[in-house]
Amino acid sequence: MPYALGGYEFLVYVVPGGFLLFFFMIMLPSLRPLFGGEPMNVVGLVLILVVAFILGQLLQTVAFCVVEKPMIGLGFSHRTNSVIWQKQGLLSKDQRDRLINAVERDFQFAREKFGFREEKDLTDETLRAQLSEEWRQLVRRIHARVNLTKSSDRLEIYLQHYAVNMGLVLAFFLIGAVLLAVQFIRHDADSGRILGLRVIKLPRFMPIVITLGVFLAMIIALMRMSYFDRLFAEELFGSYLQAPAPTGNQIRVY
């Protein structure tokens, strides 16, 4: 079946990219004629959507490295990883035991791999990384099975909200960083131009006030990103445990 780009998936890229693009259009009036000037016409609007989509994809690509990886290390993202350790706060003991039984039954994932009391008990970093990667592959198979049995219609929504907020985190950070840079550069340059481009003149201290608001929005986006990650993990494992046991043919689909 051919892949089709959904409307909401399109917004995953357009929303963060659009925030960044409109910021630069406001700060750098010289860019506005590139999109048809004012009043906005259809061609200019389409061009804005295309550029916002491209910027959004770039933001997502970079955010995987500079936003998601640190969040994973801090335990605020990819919470599906945590259940492999007994010391975790995602599932109850009964749910975790049922999950172990289910993955051992459906995917032949050895029970002894769940036997570490705490993550720190596994001192071999190579073995820990290998175990985590095996579990990540298993999580993808669990996700595929839940989709196959149509056990949940919310997983993709949670993933899309997660992706939107991840892109917004990086977009807000870049906006705040540029505002601070402009503030300090303009102290020594009263010509109103930076790198040959005219920059709008903001009232004194206004860039700092706006930057504080932008960084607050970035923190909120981080919190929302973590929130939807937790919802996804709880929904994924909950739906998997409630789904009917697959037949032999279904197991070979993965």
* Predicted structure pTM score: 0.82
Helix (H, G, I), strand (E, B) or coil at 103: helix
In terms of DSSP H, where are the helices of 64-190?
Answer: 69-74, 93-107, 125-149, 155-186
pLDDT tens for each residue of 130-140? 777 888 889 99
Is the pLDDT score of 62 beyond 90? yes
The answer to whether residue 186 scores a pLDDT higher than 60 is no
pLDDT score for 116: 59
Vertex 227: Cα angle to 226 and 233 (nearest 5): 90
To the nearest 10 degrees (0 to 180), the angle between helices 155-186 and 7-27 is 10
Which H or E run includes 221? helix 206-242
Cα–Cα distance between 131 and 142 in angstroms, integer?
Answer: 16
Q: How many CB atoms lie within 10 A of CB 249?
A: 7
Per-residue model confidence as pLDDT tens digits over 209-232: 888 899 999 999 999 999 999 999
Q: Please state the rounded mean pLDDT for residues 78-101.
A: 85
Residue 177 is predicted with a pLDDT of 87
Does the pLDDT at position 150 exceed 60?
Answer: yes
Q: Above 70 in pLDDT, residue 75?
A: yes
- Compare 254 and 174 and report the one with higher pLDDT: 174
